[in-house]
């Protein structure tokens, strides 16, 4: 069961300062990361957690192709809403950490 979940970049994500960066430059950014960098940061964390990555369609909208059964770890007969809820429970903390939200979910 593959679903497309559309996301948007709502705000700057969290910053974790690496010790080597702080030692050489202090607590200052060389620039503020943009959308493409945040997609890269988010995709790295999603990939490391074996979750689908953020993609861009031809119109430029951001989305994830989510296999509800594979991501949720539940059997296919668990029910679509149960599969979706479990899947989003895994994906949303990483998306929010990097400043992304699901379209239509502004809370």
Q: Please state the domain extents for the chain.
A: 2-102
Q: What is the pLDDT of residue 106?
A: 46
Nearest to 13 by CA among 102, 96, 107: 96
CB neighbours of 49 closer than 8 A, spacing ≥ 6?
90, 94
SS3 93: helix
For 65-70, what is the mean pLDDT?
Answer: 94
- pLDDT of 14-27, one tens digit each? 655 555 555 665 55
Please state, in angstroms and rounded to a whole number, the distance separating the CA atoms of residues 25 and 82: 47
This prediction's pTM: 0.78
Residue 41 CB neighbour total at 10 angstroms: 17
94 contacts 31 by C-beta, under 8 angstroms = no
Please state, in angstroms and rounded to a whole number, the distance separating the CA atoms of residues 42 and 36: 10
> How far does Cα 65 stand from its chain's mean position?
12
Q: pLDDT band for position 59 (50/70/90)?
A: very high
Please state, in angstroms and rounded to a whole number, the distance separating the CA atoms of residues 93 and 1: 22
């Amino acid at each position: 069961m593959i679903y497309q979940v559309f996301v948007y970049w709502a705000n700057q994500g969290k910053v974790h300062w690496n010790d080597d960066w702080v030692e050489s430059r202090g607590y200052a950014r060389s620039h503020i990361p943009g959308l493409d960098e945040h997609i890269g940061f988010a995709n790295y964390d999603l990939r490391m957690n074996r979750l689908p990555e953020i993609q861009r369609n031809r119109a430029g909208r951001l989305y994830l192709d989510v296999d509800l059964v594979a991501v949720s770890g539940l059997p296919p007969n668990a029910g679509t809403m149960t599969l979706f809820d479990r899947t989003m429970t895994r994906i949303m903390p990483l998306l929010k950490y990097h400043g992304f939200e699901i379209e239509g979910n502004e809370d």
